[in-house]
Amino acid sequence: MKNITRLISLAAVALTALVSVPLTADDYPSVSDLRTALDSGQKTSAQLVREYRQRIDTFNERLNAITRLNNEALQEAERLDRLRAAGTILGPLHGIPVLLKDNIDTGDGMPNTAGSWLLRENIPADDAFLVKSLREQGAIILGKANLSEWANFRSTRSSSGWSAIGGQTRNPYDLSRSPCGSSSGSAVAVAAGLAPLAVGTETDGSVTCPAAINGVVGIKPTLGLVSRDGIIPISAHQDTAGPMATTVSGAVMLLDAMVGEDPADPDSIPARGPYRRHLQPDGLKGLRIGIVRNLTGYSPKTDAVFAQALEVLRAQGATLVDNANIDTLDEIHALEFDLLAWEFKDAVAEYLATAPVKAKTLQALVAANERAQGRELQHFGQEIFIMAQESRGRQEAGFTEEVARLKSLAGKQGIDAVLREHDLDLLVAPTTSPAWKIDQINGDHYLGSASTPAAVAGYPHITVPMGFVRHLPVGLSFFSGANREDILIAAAYNYERASMARRAPVIPAAPGRDEQP
């Protein structure tokens, strides 16, 4: 693991080589717990930064969740402590550490790499819009989280959570299993208590899948609610950043600190927050919820856990409507990939044009990967890069019209049509299967998920821990129409409190027999 920030002592190494480390509730404080400790004076922000760094030093070598720590984090924590002592609180996240996925710009000297060795010297001039918002709200940028390289958009045979910069991120519930991706490190770090909050990004499933597989909460907001400024792109018509936390309330507080209208993002929309006002313990009461059966069936053991979750929804006062299926799914899947690849060719060039890197086009990246193939192509290739490069990008015939058709299939003719036909408030489905074994020879063994309709439509989607298949967590997805974060937050919060389904991992500190991918 090429972790520049690792400062583990020889004593700590000797200890962790011998035993699995059982963690207590104190190792997984919620954001609400941290706020209480800070407000009461029980903790300072500087103490929190030191404590999280210590946990990172102890566990990150096994998990590969974090690629870099922010050298300015402790100094910023001390500044925020002085403000607190003087009676100034910048926001609900004042003095609380947050990790960023390593495809988000910061202006503090940390490179923004997308996990690629080719971008190791990409040190942005300033913060992404969402990072500026976080800092203005008093959040501390703790560091960068590993990811599936290029947000899992380089190879059809990729291993989720692997990058040339960070190596293979591992699932804290079973180190031999995948963390999903592409926001792998963000989800793993939160699940393992290496940070209380993390930001991921999603084009299709890259927040919700790793959140579910690692037993945390993930929110993919309505497209435009969080600015895309300063984020290495795939597609302007699907990309968004989203928050991750161990609780719905934590994720919502992070969402509140990320949103804001940005003139630099043409799709930016005003927030309807603060979203934390929708954290209602009876948020399921009276709702009509559709069960999307054609987003099930790929994992029978997950479906059995889903059946139990449905009983919780019903017991909390929701009316369930079965077979509220999205009939346009096949058409969506047939169109989505080509359009993403075409747009990626131009979108990545637009980002690289102003970045301090040598490669300025996708063609240049393809060639540079070939030159660095011992480092970059050691496990899988770059078929998606090559396919995208061979296209005409956004100049492909009918690109604009096909994007509009795709979004209609997922939105107006998909989610919206089902909600209207059955008079529903929202839809539910299992988020994805349990984690599969890491396989750097054949690639991911991905079975299915609920992410695509909301991702393509640009609609909100929240995943909440639903339970376990043996020792592996699975998630419950809530999704609805555009700008319905309010109803999703209320439902997810009520479900979380009623189900109490999350159970923290016990992270083995010594290598397991099956750990080598």
Question: Catalytic site residue 206?
Answer: yes
Q: Phi and psi (nearest 5°) for 168? A: -95, 115
Distance CA 491, CA 313 (A): 9
Distance CA 385, CA 367 (A): 10
* 470 vs 3, higher pLDDT: 470
What CATH number does the domain located at 10-330+405-499 have?
Answer: 3.90.1300.10
C-beta of residue 188 within 8 angstroms of C-beta of residue 237: no
| Assigned token pair, 196 | 């209380």
Task: Catalytic residue, from 45, 158, 178, 182: name it.
Answer: 182
Residue 378 has pLDDT above 50, yes or no: yes
Quote the pLDDT of residue 28.
86
The model's pLDDT over 186-239, given as tens digits with 9 standing for 90+, comes to 999 999 999 999 999 999 999 999 999 999 999 999 999 999 999 999 999 999
Quote the pLDDT of residue 385.
98
Task: Catalytic residue, from 45, 206, 249, 299: name it.
Answer: 206
Length of the chain: 517
Residue 4 has pLDDT above 60, yes or no: no
Question: Catalytic site residue 158?
Answer: no
Distance CA 432, CA 434 (A): 7
- The residues that bridge with 97 in the sheet, in sequence order, are 140
Quote the pLDDT of residue 337.
98
Task: Catalytic residue, from 43, 101, 345, 407: name it.
Answer: 101
Q: Domain residues of the chain, as ranges?
A: 10-330+405-499
Residues 126-134, mean pLDDT to the nearest whole number: 98
Residue 304 has pLDDT above 90, yes or no: yes
Cβ count within 10 A of residue 371:
10
| Assigned token pair, 244 | 């991750």
Quote the pLDDT of residue 389.
98
Quote the pLDDT of residue 257.
98
| Assigned token pair, 517 | 């991918």
C-beta of residue 172 within 8 angstroms of C-beta of residue 188: yes
Quote the pLDDT of residue 15.
29
Quote the pLDDT of residue 419.
98
Looking only at the bridges linking them, the beta strands covering 288-291 and 319-321 are parallel
Of the pLDDT bands very low, low, confident and very high (cuts 50, 70, 90), residue 20 is very low
> Could you tell me the CA-to-CA distances from 25 to 29, 102, 215, 218 in Å, in that order?
7, 28, 15, 21
Q: What is the four-CA torsion angle of 274, 276, 278, 282, rounded to 10 degrees?
A: -170
Quote the pLDDT of residue 8.
30
Indicate the range of 38-42, 335-339, 463-467, 511-515 predicted with least confidence.
511-515
The model's pLDDT over 137-175, given as tens digits with 9 standing for 90+, comes to 999 999 999 999 999 999 999 999 999 999 999 999 999
Residues 377-400, mean pLDDT to the nearest whole number: 98
Distance CA 166, CA 119 (A): 13
C-beta of residue 186 within 8 angstroms of C-beta of residue 244: yes
Quote the pLDDT of residue 18.
27
Residue 292 makes CB contacts below 8 A (sequence gap 6+) with 324, 325, 326, 418, 427, 428, 429, 450
Quote the pLDDT of residue 511.
53
The residue with tokens 């640009």 is 458
C-beta of residue 91 within 8 angstroms of C-beta of residue 151: no
The model's pLDDT over 62-114, given as tens digits with 9 standing for 90+, comes to 999 999 999 999 999 999 999 999 999 999 999 999 999 999 999 999 999 99
Amino acid at 404: A
For all residues of the chain together, what is the average pLDDT? 94
Amino acid at 442: N
* pTM, 2 dp: 0.94
* 14 vs 291, higher pLDDT: 291
C-beta of residue 146 within 8 angstroms of C-beta of residue 69: no
C-beta of residue 454 within 8 angstroms of C-beta of residue 415: yes
Quote the pLDDT of residue 17.
31
H-state helical runs in 214-328: 248-258, 300-315
Q: Can you tell me whether residue 142 is helix, strand or coil?
A: strand
Residue 448 has pLDDT above 60, yes or no: yes
Quote the pLDDT of residue 26.
60
Question: Catalytic site residue 132?
Answer: no
Of the pLDDT bands very low, low, confident and very high (cuts 50, 70, 90), residue 3 is very low
CA angle 94–97–98, rounded 5-degree value: 110
